[in-house]
């Protein structure tokens, strides 16, 4: 089966969805948006929205069950990305970081470390506001990935 792109659509920024909509059309790739609510999509034979039940990690679990080796999943959720990578797929976050079998453990360890620092009051805050630089980093990372894998 050819490469499919899956989006954890509940939390994905709209500007990233727009990039993916254009990419799906241009490259004629199947793009599936999975969310626990109805997601508006442009009319396309390549773009499909899947609505799942409400609940913690329902959309994530659906994607893990349905994705295949070498598919690409768009998510900022590192533990979810780890499950995707365990299925020999790839995960790309909206800020342009690609999670692979070679680097996912490092990302998980850093996430856990930062959570511990925040929980003990040694660090505060989280990621900076999503901006134009992040959008460009995502677009470039997506293009690199597709050039190498499709």
Task: State the average pLDDT for the chain.
Answer: 91
- Given a cut of 70, whether residue 117 has pLDDT beyond it is no
d(CA 133, CA 60): 27
Domain of residue 142 covers: 4-149
Burial 89-123 (b: 16+ CB within 10 A, else e): bbbbbbbbbbbeeeebeebeeeeeeeeeeeeeeee
Q: How confident is the model at residue 121, as a pLDDT?
A: 76
Q: What are the φ/ψ torsions at residue 31 (nearest 5 degrees)?
A: -120, 125
- Given a cut of 80, whether residue 84 has pLDDT beyond it is yes
What tens digit of pLDDT does each residue of 15-62 get?
Answer: 999 999 999 999 999 999 999 999 999 999 999 999 999 998 999 999
Count: domains in the chain: 1
**CATH code of the domain containing 96:** 3.40.50
- Given a cut of 80, whether residue 112 has pLDDT beyond it is no
Q: How confident is the model at residue 79, as a pLDDT?
A: 94
Instruction: Name the nearest CA neighbour of 72 among 121, 6, 1, 138.
Output: 6
Contact in structure between 59 and 36 (CB atoms under 8 Å) = yes
């Amino acid at each position: 089966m050819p490469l499919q792109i899956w989006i954890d659509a509940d939390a994905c920024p709209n500007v990233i969805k727009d990039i993916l909509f254009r990419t799906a059309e241009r490259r004629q790739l199947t793009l599936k948006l999975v969310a626990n609510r109805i997601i508006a999509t442009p009319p396309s034979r390549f773009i499909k929205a899947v609505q799942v039940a409400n609940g913690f990690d329902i959309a994530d679990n659906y994607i893990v069950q349905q994705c295949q080796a070498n598919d690409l999943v768009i998510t900022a959720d590192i533990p979810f990305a780890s499950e995707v990578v365990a299925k020999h797929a790839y995960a790309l976050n909206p800020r342009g970081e690609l999670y692979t079998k070679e680097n996912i453990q490092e990302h998980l360890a850093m996430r856990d470390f930062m959570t511990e620092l925040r929980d003990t009051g040694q660090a505060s805050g989280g990621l900076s506001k999503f901006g134009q630089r992040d959008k460009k980093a995502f677009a470039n990372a997506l293009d690199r990935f597709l050039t190498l894998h499709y």
